[in-house]
Structure 1
Amino acid sequence: MLELTLFGRFSLRTVDGTDITPKSKKACGLLALLAYAPEMKRSRAWLVDHLWSDRHPDQGLGSLRQELSNLRKCLENYDGCVQSDRRWIWLSSDAFDCLGQDASSSDCEFLEGLDIRDQKFNDWRSKVSEKSAASSALVSHREVLDQFSQSSAPPISICCVSIGPEGASSTVVADVIATRIAEGISEHISVSHIANDKPRGELASSADILVECSVVEDNGFCVALIKVVHVDSGKIFYSKTCQMTGTAGSLVRSDILAKAAFDASEVTVEQLPHIIGVGQSSSHATALSRLALHKLFTFEANAIDEADQLLLEAYSIEKNGVFLAWAGLLNMIRSVEVMHSEQDETRERIDELIQKALSISGQNGLVRALAAQTTAILFRDPARSLPMAEDAVEMNPSSSFALQALATSKMLTGETEQAYAISAKSRNIASRSQFRQWWDLNHSMICVATGRFDEALALAEAVTRIVPTTRPMHRYLLSLYAEKGNFEAANRVKQKLIQLEPGFTLDQMIDDPEYPVHTLRRAGLIAPLKAMK
């Protein structure tokens, strides 16, 4: 066991006290970044970004290889302490003990004496220092994770309350609506459900989150009032009035209600760590996963790497399969984006994430939806993806993720018009989502596949305005502008693609059958590019 001191004077020593701290400061920085990482593991891209942020990525990767070699020389008598593959570098958790016994001292500095001239490294160091000062409990990385996973705080509890005359049809509908929202919330976070079999006052005192709904019918008009409340503070996560002509029963089947239920779930999950705090493991893991999603849906390479790490950390805190399902989707997006030459996430690895997520949380509709979407896009296997997508929609008819997975699977079976209608519904339900670019992107691709080029173009333009670093949508824009004969706009997009993808050429899109534009090729949208050569 090697003793690594992170708080106080940075050092690496053997059990007999021999100092084997690397002479290279960057090698020390590499060791520190790995030691303080979830599972002591970081991607090469993330490490380059935090130690050589001012260099070209290729130069940074070369420097990383050199410092990794320096680190291994210091540890040549300890085989297996530092391991790596083409994408990841990690430390053996059995070989290192991260010491912090003097961390509560006011003069105990994180990585004291380690001066590294890189702004991203120093920003990371400052964040860790602030977090550590706030917690005042500086223990080894493994112990921190154990504390979170073994938190004595009770799980977050949720209860549904329908307001209205007992037995009335409108009250039954209100109960259905409240239950659907609660189930949508529980797809994202681990909660315990409290049965609605107590007086309302007792229910409120025993629940963390209360989902209330009341429905009123009057002369062919129906109104539903939805409210999600944090019981302890009285703060409102979500409040919405839905109204439509028709009966209460028709409201349950309407897109208006599906939209409200989806919004209520997303807003509640987003606000939960801020209102409840991160003292409970599920709330802390939720905070990490939401941050991961904000990074993931930028579709930017470094942000996706960071999102991957955040999801792994969330899973280490709470063994919820939804975090693995998100990681599977993330790695599928990374694979499609072809973001850097050292990307080696194999289909087997992604499939492993999916299967593990399903084994842990197979009855979670969101897990099945994400697994179906990943399987459909990466493996193009509707025999696997379609049943999972259908199950996900049955579990939660308001889930836009489930509907999008179903639309993607329907495309693979050749049911293109049905796929278009389901995708359009999915996009409508998620129109107020903070991640709406995900549905715009997927619907744009389906529009291309079904020959709706004008609609596809408008969506691709919308996506690239929100997330200007997404390569797939720029490829679509390039072909769609060329198809319209708007070569001025097409050339602007071509220059943008060259910035996003160094070495990009039109010949790749036109002549390389492996280049990721299969839908464009099948839709006949590659031929118009020849006029630009």
Structure 2
Amino acid sequence: MPDQRQTHFRIDVLGPLRLTGRHGRDCTPKGAKNQALIAMLALSPGMERPRRWLEDKLWSSFGPEQAGANLRQALSKLRSALGSEADLLQADRNAIRLAERQVRVDLLEEIVPGDDRTELLEGIDVRDPEFEDWLRQERAQLQAMINRTQPSSNRGILITCRSDGDTAAGRDRILADVLSNQIGENIADQVRAWRQADPDSVGAPDAPPSDVLIQSQLLADGNSHMLFLKAVHQPSARILYSRMQRVERLEAITNSEDEIARTVFEAADQILGKIPHALPKDRPETRATALSRLALYRMFSYDQDALREAYGLMDQAYRHDENGLYLAWGSLIRMTQMMEMSEEDQGGLMEETIDLYHRAMETGAENPLVMSIVSKVRSTVHGDLAGVMDLAQSAVERNPVSAFGLKALSEAYITAGRLQEAYRTSARACAIAKSSPFRHWWDTGHCLIALACDHYEEAITAGEAAARAAPLSRPVHRTLLALYAATGRMDQATEVARRMVKIEPGFTIDQMIGDPDYPVRTLRGKGLLAPLGALL
């Protein structure tokens, strides 16, 4: 699964080769051998191959000198085509490599095609027998991977949640149990899973072994306690997560205070990220988790093509595991496409958004994460305050440590005009989601809520954090543009306006100020569009 590193390039090898650079720019090279060179490096160990190996695969009928010259010429053309992004290719006298930390490759992200007819490097025609042999081997490996990952029966992930047996005091044991179960609940919100009682404690020695064991231990240390958490993949004994932290007051656990809620949220998120690596690939919940996690990375980039891909991935997740959560995420993706104005058929997106969230509620009405997502979607699509508030409050009651539920509740409060409650709830959601790879989603929401509460400096800080993590997000850049202008930072406002022209084709400040349908309702209501006139 993707990690939190900063990447600039995406290479798609499933179907026709495609290389996408910064800001979604299509950098796919022309010429079959140039494409083949990129593809072979992308699929090689460490994304590196010796020069001679590449020469043998692409110019096998040439002598060493001519093959070497051909490789140098291909590299020169590739660097020229990449322009300012030529740092993707690195070379020395012995080897050629891609800047691995800057690259993502679709086939290497725990994903295999949902359609087994998908072809690796479709349409590539290099006409070299050595390359064709390499390509046949790679396609055979892909087919074997597809065959291995055909879904088996869906029994759900089994999670045993318990306190460590060495915990002494009865109260400490109970609180440790509470923590383990909160982590298990947060995982079960996001993937089909069952929390399993410890078979020894309930007298069920023949119960199937759990997939994941979550253990918590509280140890008295003077006037405070040390908390030790550990999650283990039982069949392999691999540690999926561990953490040691001091708990000054045990009431922090019973009250689900921020420091504890953040730990629970972080633990569940990191365990979920490891599940596709640990569980067998033929289990539907394994594939669905991998697909949905990748979809979230795509969705929260806010790029037009990435949003389309995110929906396709989430749809695949649902086909592998008919969990209403994936329908709810699908409705949010469709709503985001509407808000980003990235598709022409706005009416069709609206209909699909509504259909998806209705189906999500039919199959996942008890899931607090489904409630949270649907609350946000309903608020944007219908402005249904009573329904939105009911869903958000129910989500938080069922899972008080979920940053998703708190975000939904903060937005329900803002719709109801309860500004200070919205601000406090949003700030708590951001604090809990601090370690999330999608933290910018919470930062974007907090930017708008802080703005509504006239905390402009805090809104700018949250907006800048969101823009760094999601440089293609139109809403956060629109908000920063207005905030910079309103606070007299015209140089920064001018820079954001230039960026908006790149990420939103056809953008003009005139439209932002004068078009009543342009999506800046909060900014318009706060009177923050007028200062933009100084930029005209």
- TM-score, L = length of structure 2: 0.72
- The one-letter amino acid paired with 2:406 is L
Q: What is the Cα deviation at residue 427 of structure 1?
A: 0.1
Q: Which residue of 2 aligns with 1:464?
A: 467
Structure 1 residues 119-518: aligned runs within 5 Å: 129=139, 132-135=142-145, 137=147, 147-148=150-151, 151-152=152-153, 154-163=155-164, 164=166, 168-198=170-200, 206-247=209-250, 250=253, 252-518=255-521
CA contact (8 A) 1:173 1:248 kept: no
What percent identity do the matched residue pairs reach? 32
Runs of 4+, deviation exceeding 4 Å: 49-55, 109-117, 125-128, 164-167, 199-205, 248-252
Q: What is the Cα deviation at residue 418 of structure 1?
A: 0.5
Label 1:110 to 1:429 Cα distance change in 2 as closer, same or farther (>3 A): closer
Label 1:113 to 1:492 Cα distance change in 2 as closer, same or farther (>3 A): closer
CA distance in structure 2 between the partners assigned to 1:229 and 1:303 by the alignment: 33
CA contact (8 A) 1:369 1:392 kept: yes
Partner of 2:200: helix, strand, or coil?
A: coil
Q: Which residue of 1 aligns with 2:71?
A: none
Label 1:329 to 1:196 Cα distance change in 2 as closer, same or farther (>3 A): same
Label 1:362 to 1:112 Cα distance change in 2 as closer, same or farther (>3 A): closer
- The one-letter amino acid paired with 1:158 is I
CA contact (8 A) 2:215 2:229 kept: yes
- The one-letter amino acid paired with 1:389 is A
CA distance in structure 2 between the partners assigned to 1:99 and 1:205 by the alignment: 32
Q: Which residue of 1 aligns with 2:69?
A: none
Structure 1 residues 62-81: aligned runs within 5 Å: none
Q: Which residue of 2 aligns with 1:9?
A: none
- The one-letter amino acid paired with 2:275 is L
Label 1:249 to 1:427 Cα distance change in 2 as closer, same or farther (>3 A): closer
Q: What is the Cα deviation at residue 156 of structure 1?
A: 2.1
Label 1:130 to 1:181 Cα distance change in 2 as closer, same or farther (>3 A): farther
Q: What is the Cα deviation at residue 229 of structure 1?
A: 0.9
CA distance in structure 1 between the partners assigned to 2:318 and 2:462 by the alignment: 34
Partner of 1:198: helix, strand, or coil?
A: helix
CA RMSD of aligned residues (A): 3.3
CA distance in structure 1 between the partners assigned to 2:458 and 2:136 by the alignment: 47
CA contact (8 A) 2:334 2:350 kept: no
Partner of 1:192: helix, strand, or coil?
A: strand
Deviation track 1:18-64 (CA, whole Å, cap 9, x = no partner) reads: xxxxxxxxxxxxxx979xxxxxxxxxxxxxx9999799xxxxxxxxx
Q: What is the Cα deviation at residue 167 of structure 1?
A: 7.4
Label 1:269 to 1:127 Cα distance change in 2 as closer, same or farther (>3 A): farther
Q: What is the Cα deviation at residue 458 of structure 1?
A: 1.4
- The one-letter amino acid paired with 1:172 is I
How many residues of Structure 1 are paired with residues of Structure 2 in the alignment?
423
Q: Which residue of 2 aligns with 1:69?
A: none
CA contact (8 A) 1:217 1:247 kept: no
Q: Which residue of 2 aligns with 1:59?
A: none
Match of 1:521 among 508, 519, 524: 524
Gap runs ≥5 in structure 2: 1-13, 17-23, 31-114, 127-134
CA distance in structure 1 between the partners assigned to 2:247 and 2:409 by the alignment: 27
CA contact (8 A) 1:222 1:251 kept: no
CA contact (8 A) 1:220 1:247 kept: no
CA distance in structure 2 between the partners assigned to 1:404 and 1:130 by the alignment: 46
Deviation track 1:133-160 (CA, whole Å, cap 9, x = no partner) reads: 323749xxxxx9xx52xx1475321111
